[in-house]
Amino acid sequence: MFLAGNDLPQRWQSQDHFQIAELGFGTGLNFLETWRQWCRHRRPGQHLDYTSFEAYPLDAQAIIRAISVWPDLSELAEKLVQHLPDLNRSPTVWNLDHQTTLTIIKAQALEGVGNWPQKADAWYLDGFSPQLNRDMWSSRLMEQVFAHTHVIGTFATYTSAGWVRRNLQSSGFNVKKIPGHGTKRHMLVGVRELL
């Protein structure tokens, strides 16, 4: 899971501000589970920024329909779509509660990340499978992801294809293959080390 692969919620304990970035917002499932965990673990005064790069945003109905199979998340999903602005405007910034900001940047990932003026503490790399969507795993994009990662920042992905691993390594990450969950036998996690 993306949270555990980035050593969350543990890392939240030592930072007042934490920036997560994601490739592919999709139904918002990752965001909603992260928000749920964040609401449980945060302390007063801390802030979570979650930025997702998505080229083909879904509408509110599609999000609610998809999330309805996860009853634990339905309340937060309702809150998410309540004020759902036009996702085709970009960027879309929501202050979902006083400690949580969600930003969705509607763009091709390479362009969106390349122009992003910030860096992430943790990345969720969640493009479709590399066989179907090579663009989401290209060496150019992985270089941009690395360039937009704070030192000791991390990433996690359910993809474990060898060429994706090599792209992540040659961009600069220290990459490890670890056991996955369910149908995903392996996942990749990595860190941008000090040097």
Choose the stretch contacting ligand SAM; rule: CB under 6 A; options: 25-33, 40-48, 151-159, 161-169.
25-33
Helices (H), the chain: 2-5, 29-41, 60-67, 74-82, 109-114, 139-147, 162-171
Task: Look at the chain and count its residues.
Answer: 195
- Binding residue for ligand SAM, selected from 12, 18, 38, 53, defined by CB under 6 A: 53
Alpha carbon 165 to its chain's center = 18
Which of 8, 29, 73, 145 lies at the binding interface for ligand SAM (CB under 6 A)?
Answer: 29
Q: Which of 13, 107, 110, 97 is nearest to 49 (CA)?
A: 97
CA distances from 112 to 23, 46, 73, 120, 144 (A): 10, 26, 28, 14, 10
* Range in contact with ligand SAM (rule: CB under 6 A) among 81-89, 125-133, 147-155, 172-180: 125-133
Of the candidate spans 47-55, 91-99, 144-152, 168-176, the one that interacts with ligand SAM by CB under 6 A turns out to be 47-55
Q: How far is 52 from 61, CA to CA, in rounded Å?
A: 19
Q: How far is the CB of 7 from ligand SAM (least distance, A)?
A: 19
| 69 lies in the binding site for ligand SAM (CB under 6 A) | no
Residue 2 beta carbon to ligand SAM: minimum distance, rounded to whole angstroms: 8
What span, in angstroms and rounded, lies between the C-alpha atoms of 143 and 154? 14
Does 128 help bind ligand SAM (rule: CB under 6 A)? yes
Applying CB under 6 A, which part among 3-11, 22-30, 39-47, 113-121 lies near ligand SAM?
A: 22-30
Minimum CB distance to ligand SAM, residue 67 (Å):
9
HEC sequence for 111-168: HHHHCCCCCEEEEEECCCCCCCCHHHHCHHHHHHHHHCEEEEEEEEECCCCHHHHHHH
When the beta carbons of 64 and 109 are compared against ligand SAM, the nearer one is 109
Among 19, 27, 154, 159, binds ligand SAM (CB under 6 A): 27
Binding site for ligand SAM (CB under 6 A): 22, 24-30, 53-56, 108-109, 126-128, 133, 135-136
